[in-house]
């Protein structure tokens, strides 16, 4: 009997099919994963190749292993400097005193003894070791070694016989630098920055380019020094800038009466709008973020904090470098000359011949002018104040100059003047027989003040303390600005980043360590010692530099009371990162400095070198105030096609006109508001060397257009104005 074939069991049919499917799946997986692995390997190879290529172009810059630096013993340095004898002082900066020393082998050294240990000095010390210690270039001053003993922090450099450019330009009894020297110095500084920006990997941003940080060797060739504020350009970092320099200062601010009295109770913290701040610690953090307060000295007050505005926008802009020379016109430059010039000459009240010999009649005008600008909305100290000080907006420069001077030179308004400075004044003025200097003595006396600095004459008549008023005004303005900005920021982005950091800070924030064998954990209450071995608490007596240190009598800085008192101090006042007048406007204290910020500072430096003037030059002697602001004056001259008027009179016409005009125009391109419009340092060096043409000077700085084009409309405007 034929057997009936049984239908295949469904299991038997399914088995081979599912097996085949698994096989296919397995194959697909293997192939795709091997493709992924292959791609990854290719990517790694490419990356490796690329970084190798890159390394050949740049200096391998391993910050964790500074070049071999000699570790000096304190005793060694003490004997080299004659027990740190005063006669060996060659200069004094915001962070310490520099002595000349002689090693046993006969080598001259410069020994920088940092002031009492603090977060600030520690940061500067580490920065110098970390950054300058790892670099060697003929355009950078050589760091030879260091000394760390107990609370002592000392840096040892090669000795630069002609000291700093500051002294060569502004020093008393200086014969002045010849044109050739000046041009060579400009080129040297540019090449130093070229090395830092383009020759180092990662690039280094100097952050404080100014005359006192340019040292001159025996042949007057320049080397850039002072890396205390510099940083390596490492993407993605955030904490270092904030915590290493601003927190300490904010603690100090909290302690100051102004702050605790006026800001603490109701000032909201960035990231926590409307939140009441109850503890100093909370304010510390908030201020570190928002106030961008002074790091290098505590001189700066509220007006400087205004710099913090807009930083985020600009820093974002900088990232996307545009074609500098393409003239794409991406950034709109504020037209400074048209508005600035006339307003200036109309509104500015010229100083009289003597420092304090102020014409009361004009004073009235001045105050009228000020009240007028006050009346016009009360928002004069808005986000653009930096530009307005250049005469570029509706607020004329005097406001800035006066506000700044007012807050800086009047002891009654500046709590940071230390006793030493006060004591030094009579001594200094006794030496002087000039009536100006006799008057300058009065700067120390709170009740005698330059009438030009009185922002509101009526305050006196009301019997109120003028300084308190002014500060009050600034605080109100500042608070207003910050609250508005905070609100809008929070609306836009939320404040999670800042909140996270705040939490971190509360828990005790870890500072990145600097590879010197220990890690710093800065808790709010941490004990440190001062120079004498006394313990100090980070929270309370933590020693941050206070006030203006009296400069050594051998240093140029000592001419504090000699004539152009205001100019010197104004131009050398270090703000949160960088120095006021030299620091790029896009920098807001909380952001990162980028290469173009150095380019901006270089622009200012070039003008200073060529003109022999400070960026803010308010002289006691008669002078046109339109020249007080160097940058603004230069822009006016450029507009009038007379840039060579800027050249230092001390040169007595002995200079290369072509080079001078090239330098000035180059400086103007470096001083453009939008960082991306400024040339990069490679281009600057090429232009200076004559290997590249200077790009067309920005429209607003170029000489007035032919009347054919604009004359008619201008005349019309004038007629309608009449
Ligand atoms: N290597 C050096 N050789 C000779 N003189 C030096 C050297 N380094 C510094 N000096 C002198 O010491 C002065 C002070 O220098 P320092 O770097 O301490 O401060 P600064 O740059 O003037 O101010 P700050 O540090 O506040 O920016 C300089 O202006 C210069 O005259």
* Averaged confidence pLDDT in the chain: 60
* Same domain as 132, residue 222: no
CATH number at residue 666: 1.10.510.10
What separation in Å is there between the alpha carbon of 641 and the centre of ligand 1?
A: 37
308 lines ligand 1 (CB under 6 A): no
Atom of ligand 1 minimally distant from the CA of 124: 25
* Same domain as 653, residue 613: yes
For 27-46, b/e burial (b = at least 16 CB within 10 A) is eeeeeeeeeeeeeeeeeeee
Residue 526 lies inside a defined structural domain of this protein? no
What separation in Å is there between the alpha carbon of 216 and the centre of ligand 1?
A: 11
Residue 352 lies inside a defined structural domain of this protein? no
β-bridge pairing 200-201 and 59-60: parallel
User: What pLDDT sits at residue 284?
Assistant: 27
578 lines ligand 1 (CB under 6 A): no
Structure tokens that stand for 652 in this block: 């007595």
* Same domain as 652, residue 594: yes
Q: What is the SS3 assignment for 632?
A: helix
Atom of ligand 1 minimally distant from the CA of 297: 26
95 lines ligand 1 (CB under 6 A): yes
* Same domain as 173, residue 151: no
Atom of ligand 1 minimally distant from the CA of 92: 14
Rounded distance between C-alpha atoms, residue 227 and residue 207, angstroms: 8
Residue 120 lies inside a defined structural domain of this protein? yes
What are the residues facing 108 on neighbouring strands? 102
β-bridge pairing 108-114 and 70-71: unpaired
Q: Please state the pTM of the whole predicted model.
A: 0.53
Going by pLDDT thresholds of 50, 70 and 90, the confidence category of residue 594 is confident
* 71 phi/psi in degrees, rounded to 5: -95, 110
Q: How many domains does the chain have?
A: 2
Residue 150 lies inside a defined structural domain of this protein? yes
What are the residues facing 710 on neighbouring strands? none
What separation in Å is there between the alpha carbon of 93 and the centre of ligand 1?
A: 6
Residue 498 lies inside a defined structural domain of this protein? no
User: What pLDDT sits at residue 616?
Assistant: 82
The answer to whether the beta carbons of residues 329 and 674 sit under 8 Å apart is no
Residue 718 lies inside a defined structural domain of this protein? no
Going by pLDDT thresholds of 50, 70 and 90, the confidence category of residue 325 is very low
551 lines ligand 1 (CB under 6 A): no
Active centre residues (catalytic): 208
Residues 6+ apart with CB under 8 A from 59: 135, 199, 200, 201
Q: Given ligand 1 and candidates 93, 113, 165, 571, which is best to mutate, with the most ligand atoms within 8 Å of its CB?
A: 93
CA angle 678/683/687 to nearest 5° reads: 110
* Same domain as 203, residue 171: yes
- From residue 615, alpha-carbon distances to 27, 401, 609, 671 in Å are 72, 11, 10, 12
Residue 41 lies inside a defined structural domain of this protein? no
Residue 492 clears pLDDT 70, i.e. is over it: no
Residue 36 clears pLDDT 80, i.e. is over it: yes
Nearest CA to ligand 1 atom 11: 91
Residue 50 clears pLDDT 80, i.e. is over it: no
Residue 363 clears pLDDT 80, i.e. is over it: no
Q: Of the candidates 580, 590, 578, which has an alpha carbon nearest to the alpha carbon of residue 315?
A: 590
- Please indicate whether residue 689 or residue 309 has the higher confidence score (pLDDT): 689
Which helix (H) or strand (E) segment is 108 a member of?
Answer: strand 108-114
The top-scoring range by mean pLDDT among 261-265, 410-414, 702-706 is 702-706
141 lines ligand 1 (CB under 6 A): yes
- Please indicate whether residue 686 or residue 256 has the higher confidence score (pLDDT): 686
Structure tokens that stand for 496 in this block: 């999670």
* Same domain as 679, residue 593: yes
* Same domain as 201, residue 103: no
Rounded distance between C-alpha atoms, residue 703 and residue 8, angstroms: 98
> Which H, E and C letters describe 266-297, residue by residue?
CCCECCECCCCCCCHHHHHHHHHHHCCCCCCC
Residue 58 lies inside a defined structural domain of this protein? no
569 lines ligand 1 (CB under 6 A): no
Residues making up the annotated binding site for ATP are 112
Domain limits at 696? 163-235+579-705
Residue 227 clears pLDDT 80, i.e. is over it: yes
* Same domain as 142, residue 223: no
What separation in Å is there between the alpha carbon of 92 and the centre of ligand 1?
A: 6
Residue 2 clears pLDDT 60, i.e. is over it: no
Q: Of the candidates 562, 626, 569, 620, which has an alpha carbon nearest to the alpha carbon of residue 358?
A: 620
* Same domain as 112, residue 85: yes
Minimum mean pLDDT range among 131-140, 172-181, 255-264:
255-264
Rounded distance between C-alpha atoms, residue 118 and residue 526, angstroms: 11
Quote the crossing angle between the two packed helices 466-493 and 397-409, to the nearest 10°.
Answer: 110
Residue 371 clears pLDDT 60, i.e. is over it: no
Q: Of the candidates 164, 133, 155, which has an alpha carbon nearest to the alpha carbon of residue 81?
A: 155
Domain-terminating residue out of 119, 135, 159: 159
Q: Given ligand 1 and candidates 97, 146, 163, which is best to mutate, with the most ligand atoms within 8 Å of its CB?
A: 163
Rounded distance between C-alpha atoms, residue 706 and residue 709, angstroms: 6
- Tens of pLDDT along 617-662? 765 555 566 677 888 889 889 988 889 999 998 898 899 999 999 9
* Same domain as 151, residue 83: yes
What separation in Å is there between the alpha carbon of 549 and the centre of ligand 1?
A: 13
CATH number at residue 71: 3.30.200.20
Compute the average pLDDT of residues 676-684: 94
160 lines ligand 1 (CB under 6 A): yes
Question: What's the complex ipTM?
Answer: 0.97
User: What pLDDT sits at residue 708?
Assistant: 42
* Same domain as 186, residue 136: no
* Same domain as 207, residue 93: no
Atom of ligand 1 minimally distant from the CA of 97: 18
Going by pLDDT thresholds of 50, 70 and 90, the confidence category of residue 579 is confident
């Amino acid at each position: 009997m034929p057997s009936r074939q049984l239908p295949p069991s469904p299991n038997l049919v399914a088995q081979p099919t599912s097996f085949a499917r698994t096989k296919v799946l397995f194959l697909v997986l293997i192939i795709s994963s091997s493709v992924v692995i292959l791609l990854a390997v290719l990517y790694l190879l490419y990356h490796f190749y690329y970084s190798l290529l890159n390394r050949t172009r740049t200096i391998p810059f391993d910050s964790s292993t500074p070049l071999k630096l000699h570790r000096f013993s304190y005793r060694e340095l003490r004997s080299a400097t004659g027990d740190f004898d005063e006669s060996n002082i060659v200069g004094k900066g915001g962070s310490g005193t520099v002595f000349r020393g002689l090693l046993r082998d006969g080598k001259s050294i410069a020994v920088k003894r940092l002031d009492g240990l603090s977060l600030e000095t520690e940061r500067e010390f580490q920065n110098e070791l970390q950054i300058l210690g790892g670099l060697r270039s003929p355009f950078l001053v050589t760091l030879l070694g260091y000394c760390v003993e107990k609370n002592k922090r000392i840096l040892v450099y090669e000795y630069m016989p002609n000291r700093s450019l500051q002294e060569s330009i502004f020093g008393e009894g200086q014969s002045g630098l010849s044109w050739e020297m000046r041009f060579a110095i400009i080129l040297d500084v540019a090449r130093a920055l070229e090395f830092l920006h383009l020759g180092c990997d990662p690039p280094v941003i100097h952050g404080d380019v100014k005359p006192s940080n340019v040292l001159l060797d025996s042949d007057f060739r320049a080397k850039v020094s002072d890396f205390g504020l510099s940083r390596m350009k490492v993407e993605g970092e955030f904490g270092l800038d904030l915590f290493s320099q601003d927190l300490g200062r904010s603690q100090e601010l909290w302690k100051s009466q102004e702050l605790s009295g006026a800001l603490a109770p109701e000032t909201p913290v960035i990231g926590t709008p409307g939140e009441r701040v109850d503890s100093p610690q909370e304010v510390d953090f908030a201020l570190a973020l928002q106030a961008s307060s002074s790091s290098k000295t505590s001189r700066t007050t509220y007006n400087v904090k205004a710099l913090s505005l807009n930083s985020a926008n600009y820093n974002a802009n900088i990232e996307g470098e545009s074609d500098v020379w393409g003239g794409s016109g991406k950034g709109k430059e504020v037209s400074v000359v048209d508005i600035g010039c006339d307003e200036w000459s109309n509104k500015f009240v010229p100083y009289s011949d003597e420092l304090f010999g102020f014409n009361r009649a004009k004073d009235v005008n001045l105050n009228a002018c000020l009240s007028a600008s006050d009346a016009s909305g009360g928002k004069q100290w808005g986000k653009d104040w930096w530009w307005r000080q250049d005469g570029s907006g509706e607020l004329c420069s005097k406001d800035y100059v006066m506000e700044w001077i007012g807050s800086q030179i009047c002891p009654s308004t500046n709590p940071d003047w230390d006793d030493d400075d006060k004591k030094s004044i009579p001594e200094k003025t006794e030496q002087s027989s000039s009536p100006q200097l006799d008057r300058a003595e009065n700067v120390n006396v709170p009740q005698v003040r330059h009438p030009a600095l009185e922002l509101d004459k009526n305050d006196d008549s009301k019997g109120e303390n003028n300084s308190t008023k002014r500060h009050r005004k600034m605080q109100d303005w500042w608070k207003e600005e910050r609250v508005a900005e905070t609100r809008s920021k929070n609306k836009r982005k939320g404040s999670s980043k800042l909140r996270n950091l705040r939490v971190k800070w509360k828990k005790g924030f870890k500072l990145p360590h600097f590879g010197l064998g220990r890690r710093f954990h800065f808790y709010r209450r941490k004990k440190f010692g001062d120079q004498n071995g006394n313990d100090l608490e980070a929270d309370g007596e933590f020693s941050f530099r206070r006030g203006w240190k009296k400069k050594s009598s051998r240093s140029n800085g000592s001419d504090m009371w000699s004539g152009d008192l205001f100019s010197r101090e104004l131009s050398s006042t270090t703000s949160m990162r960088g120095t006021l007048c030299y620091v790029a406007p896009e920098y807001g204290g909380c952001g990162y400095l980028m290469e173009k910020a150095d380019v901006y500072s270089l622009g200012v430096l070039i003008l200073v070198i060529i003109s022999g003037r400070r960026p803010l030059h308010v002289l006691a002697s008669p002078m046109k105030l339109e020249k007080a602001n160097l940058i603004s004056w230069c822009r006016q001259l450029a507009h009038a096609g007379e840039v060579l008027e800027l050249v230092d009179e001390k040169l007595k016409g002995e200079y290369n006109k072509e080079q001078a005009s090239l330098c000035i125009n180059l400086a103007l391109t470096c001083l453009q508001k939008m960082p991306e419009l400024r040339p990069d340092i490679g281009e600057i060096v090429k232009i200076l060397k004559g290997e590249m043409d200077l790009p067309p000077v920005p429209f607003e700085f170029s000489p007035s257009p032919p009347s054919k084009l604009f004359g008619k409309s201008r005349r019309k405007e004038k007629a309608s104005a009449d």
